[in-house]
Amino acid sequence: MLLSQPIDDFRLAYDRHGDPAGSPVLLLHGWPGDRTDHAAVAERLAGTGFDVVVPDLRGFGQSDKHDRDPAECYGAPAQARSVAGLLDELGVSAAVVGGYDIGGRVGSQLAVDRPDLVRALVVTPPAPGVGRRVLDEHPIREFWYQSFHQLELARDLIDGDVSRARAYLKHFWSRWSGPDYTVDDERLDHLAAAYGAPGAFVASIGWYRAGSGMVARALAETEPDPADRIAVPTTFLWPEHDPLFPRAWSDRLDAFFADVTVVPVDGVGHFVPVEAPGVFADTIATVAA
């Protein structure tokens, strides 16, 4: 584990795998996970000569977790600043950025703010273009946790308690994954220790408290001018069994991305890099070729 130089007083913990002279890849995790979500993806890519950088985002894993205003320090622009600072520090540019969940959003923000750092995106949902469909009966039942994360009750019930953090995270890893995947005790214990440390759970939900969660963004989004769409080539790996993001929600991606492809990933749920690391790695390798 390595530590970046601070950006806004936040240092990122990261791993670097493979050949530093190889084609660069940046892998970004989601909630409720950390950089180890990409372990199998990084191993595959590093083994074929890529330069693979895998950080914990602000507030996650072993990265800094400051009790600061979420809107300033934990939303997509702030997360992208830290990631950009890390890549600048390492002398990396024109990377293929692979991200799932929050990581996909941060990667997209990085492509907007620093297109010089992003050669292509390989991401999973969430995606823009959902609009008020997020309030339909089924989605709103699934997104209850984003409202819960706005409450101080979330801190009172979970923060600093490893056993409660483990029970809470197990719910999502079980409900959001595909039918052929079962999260193992070792992985849950690792994540519970990371999220259950004092201040860690609250830092991890800073993303939602910053207004970067799916519901808030979907209700606030407006279509950009066509000239302002994200220009880098983007591939969405869209899983079959993610209860949060039905494939029908991919219908407006062209309004937000100038060059976008949707690749269905059958048989898996929300955690594509964990459930189907070969698919994730092979797609990145194909895009980078």
Per-residue pLDDT of 203-262, as tens digits, reads 999 999 999 999 989 989 899 999 999 999 999 999 999 999 999 999 999 999 999 999
User: pLDDT tier at 289 (50, 70, 90 boundaries)?
Assistant: confident
Kind of pairing, strands 24-28 and 234-239? unpaired
Question: What would the two tokens of residue 216 be?
Answer: 């808030």
Going by DSSP bridges, is the β-strand pair 95-99/118-123 parallel, antiparallel, or unpaired? parallel
Give 138's contacts (C-beta < 8 A, 6+ positions apart): none
Task: Kindly tell me the burial class for residue 255, based on how many C-beta atoms sit within 10 Å of its own C-beta (0-12, 13-18, 19 or more).
Answer: middle
User: Residue 276: what residue type?
Assistant: A
Q: Whose structure tokens read 């995606």? A: 127
Q: How confident is the model at residue 14 (pLDDT cuts 50, 70, 90)?
A: very high
Estimate to the nearest angstrom the gap between the alpha carbon of 143 and the chain centroid: 17
Residue 250 β-bridge partners: none
Q: By three-state DSSP, how is residue 82 classified? A: helix
- Identify the structural domains of the chain with CATH numbers, from first to last: 2-288 (3.40.50.1820)
pLDDT digits (tens, 9 = 90+) for 135-180: 998 998 999 999 999 999 999 999 999 999 999 999 999 999 999 9
Compute the distance between CA of residue 30 and CA of residue 232 in angstroms, rounded to an integer: 21
For residue 186, what pLDDT is reported? 97
Stated pTM of the model: 0.97
- pLDDT, tens digit, for every residue of 200-211? 999 999 999 999
Give the pLDDT confidence score for residue 65 in this predicted structure. Answer: 97
Give the pLDDT band (50/70/90) at residue 5.
Answer: very high
| CA dist 163 → 36, 129, 152, 173 (Å) | 20, 37, 19, 15
Q: What is the mean pLDDT of the chain?
A: 97
State percent of the chain over pLDDT 70: 100
The predicted-structure confidence for 110-127, as pLDDT tens digits, reads as follows 999 999 999 999 999 999
pLDDT at 183: 96
Q: Which residue has the tokens 């609250």?
A: 202
Best CA proximity match to 243, nearest among 174, 180, 185, 181: 174
| Percent of the residues in the chain that have a pLDDT greater than 90, as a whole number | 96
